[in-house]
Amino acid sequence: MEVQGESWLTTKLEPFVDWAQKNSFWPLPFGTACCAIEFMGTVSSHYDMSRFGYEVVRFSPRQSDLMIVAGTITDKMAPVLKRIYDQMPDPKWVVSMGACACSGGFYRAYHVMQGIDEIIPVDIYVPGCPPSPEGLMYGILQIKEKIDRERKASRRGGKRKGEHAA
Amino acid sequence: MPPEAAVALDPAAAIAAGFPEGSVVPQEGPGAPTDQPTWVVRREVLRDLCRALRDNPKTRFDLLLDVCGVDYPEREERFESVYHLYSMPRGRRLRLKVPVAEGDARIPSVVPVWKGADWFEREVYDMFGVVFEDHPNLRRILTHDGFQGHALRKDYDPARRWILTEDKIYMPKLVAPPGRSDSMFERMTINIGPSHPAMHGTFRFVAMVDGEEIVASEVEIGYLHRCMEKMSETHTWQQVIPYTDRLNYCSSFINNVAYCRTVEKLLGVEVPPKAVWARTILSEFSRVMDHCVANGSSLVDTGALTNFWYFFQVREEIYGLLEAVCGARLTVSACRIGGLLADLPPDFVARCRRLLEFIPPLIDDVEKLIDKNRIWIDRSVGIAAISGEDAVNWSWTGPCLRASGVAYDVRKAHPYDLYDTVDWQVPVLYGGDTYDRYKVRMLEIRQSLSIIRQLLDRGMPEGPFVVDDPHVALPSKEACYNQMESMIYHFKLIMDGIQVPPGETYLMTEGANGELGFYVVSDGSGKPYRLHVRAPCFPIFSTFSDLMRGHSISDAIATLGGLNVIAGELER
Ligand code: SF4
């Protein structure tokens, strides 16, 4: 996008949509455990995620485009997570916050899913147990980069998020 | 039967003597638990014995603290159901053990005696497959309905998973009570959760409503059952500490203390004064944090968002202190068996003092906004009220019980660490409703701050931060590098873990939600044979559907936060 003079802005539709998307995610916090407490810390006044335009936390999957899975997902919870993910409209992104969501963490156990990527695709893995708020923010900002990268790839004929093969 | 003299002295023994020969046998002599009297009880007399122990004015075991199972595959009667009783008026404890064989694992339920037994027994059924006869709703509680086998049996592979398919998801069949003749409404069943903001992430509440009024409901939990107890059996005693962090993750430090104290008791280790001092201070700060989350979330559920930011600011500041002590904010793992993880930072006292300056104005602000707030009063006074007697029967402890007029606090009733050396009160209120649960926590925050202030004034004790015993605590790095012996100790501790002598014990600590108990059994190997957590919010939450009968859904939402149910601790 280029700003021309004082009141002109020329762009194409695609970069414009990308720009809007990457600067105003509406996150759906799928918080189940300790990581959810750090997620709350991240959106609270001290760390204040709204600085990046990500404060519109939505608990309805139909109104959100970024799922943040914060906490351990058990086998009992798995079908719920899958259903909520399926209900989110495209394009959508997933951040897996913390060791548990990424890999089951130190619960190599009979009731714990060994990473949410067993059932849903993950865009960004944020390590830590729990990740610090800075870590989570860094992870979310990586999605921004990812949108840019995908756009470049799509110019070269690749697929963009939410696009289905023709 | 107990000897005559003992019968004369101990009223509980007198009750036991009234049962047929051999049906109630005290465990005595070498190898018997020494922490509290323990009786081995035949199942045939269990319910009568329990009723007698509860009702006899000389014993009054009115609180069933906990029921858990233990599996001893080599014994003929393989499973043992262990009951921990407490007598509120007398401050006495008693443990009952009921052994049963695998082919005939049936025990009469004690729900008719203590309502709080409901979920405890379901958990034993889920984990061990012991059937409790006449239980009102005996089905799995923590694992899902596609699960097969019983996970805490010794022959169950800790990593064996079962996948839950959509068709197996449990849907409660609520039985409607007879309809009211004056109701104009159609009955409707509403499912809330598990992924619903008001259900704090992991609870599921299914309610049948008649218009606005809840007429029947059921709570489904287990969505965060992380197998903590099974995991502890596969890790060394030291490695269990991080698992305890993640029980009540709003006040991890208290869990660390509770667990370490239990193991220290089994080991007979004396913790150095500096560590005891720091443990007390940090436990109280953790309690403040926990109460902030409980009150903050219960207020935010009713729309009072501003307070949430105030409370979280308190937490952020305390996180700063914890981070300085151990490097982590939330999951601290700051205790070690025998003391602390590391020496305290040089500015520890200064930081604590700064917090004591910083926290009270924020708490004052919240009180100014809330205490007389019309909306909050309308939504909380008289809502989900429970009498002290009922609360005890439901096995409640902690601030929720103290809001119902029962002044039971482990720190006062069975003082540990430094609680008997400082001057503080147990706040008690009598309404038993959501408002009083909020208010008790606010009062407790101030008591905690006062305890901390007194301890700081006393000054930091000199000396080591962890016991000087190479069988328990790691030697310092310098010693490891320079002395052969220390290096060997280090190696042994890391590879084999602490060798805890065989035995069993139950030890209670006042957690932020109530009595946090660890029941541990050691067989002398380097790992816990069995570790069970008496999670304070477990019995509290079991009351939820009973509490909400006659209230509306919006009341249920306003109540949940005040009960402070933390999934990690509830489901372990
Ligand atoms: S990664 Fe750690 S902090 Fe996060 S949910 Fe898992 S155990 Fe809790």
Cβ <8 Å between B158 and A109:
yes
Please report the pLDDT score of residue B182 as a whole number: 63
B466 and B567 together in one domain? yes
Put simply, the answer to whether B143 touches A76 (Cβ < 8 Å) is yes
For the cut 80, the answer to whether the pLDDT of residue B221 exceeds it is yes
With contacts defined as CB-CB under 8 Å, which chain A residues touch B151? 110-111
Q: Could you tell me the pLDDT band of residue B449, with boundaries at 50, 70 and 90?
A: very high
Which residue minimizes the CA distance to atom 8 of ligand 1? A34
Structure-model confidence comparison of residues A133 and B178, the more confident one: A133
ipTM: 0.84
The full 3-state SS of B414-434, as one line of letters, equals CCCCCHHHCCCCCCCCCCCCH
Which helix or strand (DSSP H or E) is residue B313 part of?
helix B305-326
Cβ contact B529:B272 at 8 Å: no
Residue A145 Cα, gap to closest chain B Cα (Å): 28
Instruction: Tell me the CATH number at A88.
Output: 3.40.50.12280
Q: Which residues of chain A does B243 touch, with a Cβ-Cβ cutoff of 8 Å?
A: 106
Burial (CB < 10 A; 0-12, 13-18, 19+), residue A39, is buried
Whether residues B328 and B257 share a domain: the answer is yes
Q: Name B510's bridge partners.
A: B515
Q: Are residues B213 and B102 in the same domain?
A: no
pLDDT of residue A102: 92
Distance in Å, CA A35 to ligand 1 centroid = 5
B144 touches chain A (CB under 8 A): yes
Give the pLDDT mean for A46-74.
Answer: 86
Examine the domain organization and report whether B196 and B243 are in the same domain: no
Tell me if B147 is assigned to some domain.
no
The C-alpha of B170 sits at a distance from chain A's nearest C-alpha, in angstroms, of 10
Name the residue of A30, A35, A114 to mutate for ligand 1: max ligand atoms within 8 A of Cβ.
A35
Question: Coil, helix or strand for B154?
Answer: coil
pLDDT in tens, B259-290: 999 999 998 898 999 999 999 999 999 999 99
Q: What is the mean pLDDT of residues B535-554?
A: 89
The whole-angstrom separation of Cα A90 and Cα A92 is 5
- Ligand 1 pocket by C-beta < 6 Å: which residues? A 33-35, 71-72, 98-100, 105, 129-130; B 246, 331
Q: What is the CATH number of the domain that holds B542?
A: 1.10.645.10
Q: Determine, yes or no, domain membership for A111.
A: yes
The answer to whether B196 faces chain A, any CB pair under 8 Å, is yes
How buried is residue B283: exposed, middle or buried, by Cβ count under 10 Å (0-12/13-18/19+)?
Answer: buried
Residue type, B350: A
According to DSSP, the β-strands at B515-522 and B131-133 are: unpaired
pLDDT tens, position by position, B514-526: 999 999 999 888 8
Cα angle value A151/A156/A159 (rounded, 5°): 55
Please say if the pLDDT value at position A164 is more than 70: no
Tell me if residue B96 falls in helix, strand or coil.
Answer: strand
B129 or B187, which is more confident: B129
Rounded average pLDDT over B487-494: 89
| pLDDT tens-digit series, residues A81-101 | 999 999 998 888 999 999 999
Please report, for residues B103, B331, B402, B455, the alpha-carbon distance to residue B274 in angstroms, rounded to integers and kept in the order given: 52, 22, 31, 11
Q: Which residues of B touch A111 (CB under 8 A)?
A: 142-144, 147, 151, 161, 225-227
Average pLDDT across chain A, whole number:
85
CB-CB under 8 Å, A76 with B144 = yes
How many Å lie between the alpha carbon of A105 and the closest alpha carbon of chain B? 11
C-alpha B72 to ligand 1 mean position (Å): 32
The pTM is what? 0.90
Mean pLDDT for chain B? 88
Closest ligand 1 atom to residue A38 Cα is: 3
Q: Residue B141: inside a domain, yes or no?
A: no
Domain count, chain B: 3
- In B198-269, at which residue ranges do the beta strands (DSSP E only) sit? 204-210, 213-220
pLDDT at residue number B4? 47
Could you tell me if residue B462 is inside a domain?
yes
Contact status, residue B2 vs residue B11, Cβ threshold 8 Å: no
Determine the average pLDDT of the residues in B21-48.
85
Q: In which band, very low, low, confident or very high, does the pLDDT at A158 lie, cut at 50, 70 and 90?
A: low
A40 belongs to a structural domain: yes
Question: How many secondary structure helices (H) and strands (E) does chain B include?
Answer: 21, 15
Alpha-helix runs per DSSP H in chain A: 13-23, 34-43, 78-87, 98-103, 133-155
Distance CA B321, CA B325 (A): 6
Q: Provide, as residue numbers in chain A, all residues whose Cβ is less than 8 Å from the Cβ of B163.
A: 75, 78
B506-509 contacts at long range (C-beta below 8 A, 24 or more positions apart) = B506/B35, B506/B36, B506/B66, B506/B84, B506/B93, B506/B95, B506/B262, B506/B534, B507/B35, B507/B258, B507/B261, B507/B262, B507/B265, B508/B65, B508/B258, B508/B410, B508/B414, B508/B534, B509/B254, B509/B257, B509/B258, B509/B261, B509/B410, B509/B416
d(CA B238, CA B527): 9
Please choose, from the candidates B457, B455, B447, the residue with its C-alpha nearest in 3D space to the C-alpha of residue B412.
Answer: B447
pLDDT digits (tens, 9 = 90+) for A13-39: 888 888 888 888 888 988 888 898 888
Strand ranges for B493-562 from DSSP E:
503-510, 515-522, 528-534
Torsion of CA B132, B136, B140, B142, to 10 degrees: -100
Q: B257 phi and psi, to 5 degrees?
A: -60, -45
- pLDDT reading at A165 higher than 60: no
Is pLDDT at B3 greater than 70 in this prediction? no
Asked if residues B381 and B431 have their Cβ atoms less than 8 Å apart, the reply is yes
Distance separating alpha carbons of residues B85 and B98, to the nearest angstrom: 14
Round to whole Å and give the CA distance between B286 and B278. Answer: 12
What is the CATH number for B74? Answer: 3.30.460.80
Read off the pLDDT of each residue in B373-389 and give the average, rounded to a whole number: 88
Q: How far is CA B504 from CA A28, B449, B473, B523, in A?
A: 45, 35, 21, 9
Q: Do B330 and A130 touch (CB under 8 A)?
A: yes
Whether B239 maps to a domain, the answer reads yes
Q: Note the pLDDT of residue B1.
A: 43
| Domain annotation covers residue B139 | no
Q: What angle do CA B557, B293, B284 make, to 5 degrees?
A: 140
* Closest approach of B13 to chain A, Cα-based (Å): 42
Q: What is the DSSP letter of B344?
A: P
Which domain covers residue B285, as residue numbers?
228-571
Whether pLDDT at A3 is above 70: no
DSSP calls for A67-102 = EEEES--BTTTHHHHHHHHHHSPSS-EEEEEHHHHH
The closest alpha carbon to B280, from B308, B248, B258, belongs to: B258
Tokens representing A114? 């060994």
Residue A4 scores a pLDDT above 70:
no
The pLDDT of residue A163 is: 60
Which of A3-7, B189-193, B358-362 comes out lowest in average pLDDT? A3-7
> What residues contact residue B530 under an 8 Å CB cut-off, 6+ apart?
B70, B71, B152, B229, B233, B519, B520, B521
Ligand 1 atom closest to Cα of A129? 2
How many other β-carbons are positioned within 10 Å of the β-carbon of residue B5? 9
- Residue-range definition of the domain harbouring residue A44: 26-145
pLDDT score of B103: 86
Q: How far is the CA of A129 from the centre of ligand 1 (A)?
A: 5
Tell whether B195 and B234 lie within a shared domain: no
Q: Hey, whose CA ends up nearest to atom 6 of ligand 1?
A: A100
Residues of chain B with pLDDT > 70: what percent? 97
pLDDT at residue B418 greater than cutoff 50: yes
In a domain, B166, yes or no: no
Q: Are residues B397 and B509 in the same domain?
A: yes
Question: How many domains are there within chain A?
Answer: 1
**Is B164 in CB contact (< 8 Å) with chain A?**
yes
- As a whole number, mean pLDDT of residues B349-374 equals 90
On whether residue B197 sits in a domain, the answer given is yes
HSE (side-chain half, CA atoms, 13 Å) at B534: 31
Residue B453: the pLDDT is 92
What is the structure's pLDDT at B396? Answer: 92
Q: Which residue has the tokens 């023994």?
A: B13
Compute, in angstroms, the gap from residue B344 CA to the centroid of ligand 1.
26
Name every residue whose Cβ is closer than 8 Å to that of residue B299 and which is 6 or more positions away in sequence.
Answer: B307, B308, B370, B376, B438, B561
DSSP β-ladder status, B187-192 and B131-133: unpaired
Could you tell me if residue A156 is inside a domain?
no
Query: Does residue A61 sit within a domain?
Result: yes
Q: Please tell me whether residues B430 and B328 are part of one structural domain.
A: yes
Calculate helix-pair angle for A34-43, B305-326, nearest 10 degrees: 110
Q: Confidence band (pLDDT; 50, 70, 90) for B9?
A: low
Q: Which atom of ligand 1 is nearest to the CA of B226?
A: 7
Q: Is the pLDDT of residue B80 over 60?
A: yes
Nearest residue to B264 (alpha-carbon basis) of B274, B252, B276? B276
Which token pair is B24?
A: 């109630």
Cα end-to-end distance, chain B, whole Å: 38
**High-pLDDT (> 70) share of chain A, %:** 89
Strand partners, A95: A68, A124
Same domain, B475 and B524: yes
Cα B78 to averaged position of ligand 1 atoms, centre (Å): 35
